[in-house]
Structure 1
Amino acid sequence: MPYLLVNDINLYYEEIGKGETLILLHGLLGSMEDWRRFIPLFSKYYRVIAVDLRGHGRTNNPKGELSNNLFCSDLTGLLDMLHLESVLICGYSLGGYVGLMAALAQPFRIKALVMHASKMFWNDDIVGFMLQRLNPDRILAKTPRFAETLQKMHGRDRWILLLKEASEYLQTMPNEVLGLKDFGRVNIPVLVSVGDRDELVPVEEAVRFYHALQRGELLVMPNTRHSLDTVREQVFIQAILDFLTRVQK
């Protein structure tokens, strides 16, 4: 399985399919496995590259810290290493945010972006809510199956360290996130997708973000919570494929 030395990390990725390059980015505490069931469908039409972000899955994190700037630098570094001058990005939650940062940093390179369940507006109350959910003792006591998933995905010892790094990262979000003026500078097509029952990203927030974009489109998925596991696969995939096909014409 391929690794690339990008910045200070050994970044893990998998590649399948031919055609235009579609980068898949996962959410916080996830890995490329978030997208596993979708990859065979996307790879019928695109060259799919699915990535484990810094500190997640099989990608290490020597710095022991996470930040939006690091995630973005790692992504653009990967594109450099693979000599990719033009890509499409589909990001879930954190992955969508990283894709948006890349689109602002290198708009000549990112042709279109899909963002599903990406939270764009943060405050101290939201951070406090998230920090409670990232407490390892709470996870072990209340959601032991989730703890098992994290152990399998990130490693028996690594998962608790990742929770610590993720907690520190989230505490910076109210001060580091992009704002409405930044959203207005995004000049590529962006599909803003959200579940109508998302516990973290209310539909109203997604609409506010979508309205701030120059070339935004909105997709509301019915009966869908924040987890990517809850989307209706065929409906979700078809909406994304339709969007990507349309904006590339």
Structure 2
Amino acid sequence: MPNIKVGDVTFHLEESGKGDPLILLHGLLGSIESDWKRFIPSFSREYRVIAVDMRGHGLTDNPDGKLSDELFISDFIKLLDVLHLESVLVCGYSLGGFVGLMAGIQHPSRVKALVMHASKIYWDENAVQSMINKMDPDRILIEDPKFAEALKKLHGERWRDLLKEAVSFIENKRSKTLSEEYLKRADFPVLVSVGDRDGLIPLEEAVRFYRSLPKGELLVMPNTGHSIRSVREDVFVPVVLDFFKRTT
């Protein structure tokens, strides 16, 4: 699938398979390549998979240099419009899962069902500061040069700009708390997936979140951290496919 221009942003998409559309959304600082590439062959045997590099990530540009929940959600809905997709399945990792959730709440007819892996819902000062501390490009170059090289490979020369944009994005999480009442508006099937060793999302937090959802289900993956690289494909994919088939 060629790149698609939506407004002033040119999005990079990858499409594979036939059937009902399944949108794959990556995490903050991630891309199709880093987060979903290895899962696409399995998912595309059952669905028309459309993986998206979100604004500012991977091969998608970000002309105005800003990231926000509102922009990500707007981008998602506009992409569906351009692709003539009325209602879709969504599988999102971390940020991608959150975007899918909010899009489904704000635009109920557009999301049939959602899988969220390692998506943080409840932010406190410690979580915000911990994330920000990990996003200093100079510090990354010194303390974790392999990570710096990986970011450069994924995002090109603008990897430093992306880190700055990501810091501002995370800082805004301080003022955004989703109430249990608001989460009840997610009246569509949601599978909340979390690793039992996720350092960002305590297990009790994932349980609290899933219990707040009218049609929530919970998957706890053993020996799995926050990074999607720690997710075992042979465990995750069958559960996701079963969830979508049962609930849609």
Shorter-chain TM-score: which interval?
over 0.9
Q: Give the counterpart letter for 2:94 in structure 1.
A: S
Cα offsets for 1:85-137 (capped at 9, x unmatched): 11000000000000011101211121000000000000122111111111112
2:6 alignment counterpart: 6
Distance in 1 (CA, whole Å) between partners of 2:136 and 2:125 is 17
Aligned-residue offset at 1:179: 2.6
Q: Assess, with a 3 A threshold, how the Cα gap between structure 1 residues 7 and 181 changes in structure 2: closer, same or farther.
A: farther
Q: Give the unaligned 5+ runs of structure 2.
A: none
Where does 1:1-249 land on structure 2 (aligned, <5 Å)?
2-33=2-33, 34-155=35-156, 157-248=157-248
Sequence identity percentage:
60
Q: How many residues get paired?
A: 247
Cα offsets for 1:167-204 (capped at 9, x unmatched): 01100012134332211111000000000000111111
Cα offsets for 1:177-236 (capped at 9, x unmatched): 433221111100000000000011111110000010000000000000000010111110
Q: Give the counterpart letter for 1:199 in structure 2.
A: G
Runs (4 or more) in structure 1 with deviation over 2 Å come to 176-179
Larger CA deviation: 36-45 vs 140-149: 140-149
Instruction: Name the TM-score, length of structure 2 as normaliser.
Output: 0.98
Larger CA deviation: 133-142 vs 185-194: 133-142
Q: Give the unaligned 5+ runs of structure 1.
A: none
Instruction: Name the TM-score, length of structure 1 as normaliser.
Output: 0.97
Distance in 2 (CA, whole Å) between partners of 1:142 and 1:181 is 42
Distance in 2 (CA, whole Å) between partners of 1:7 and 1:178 is 29
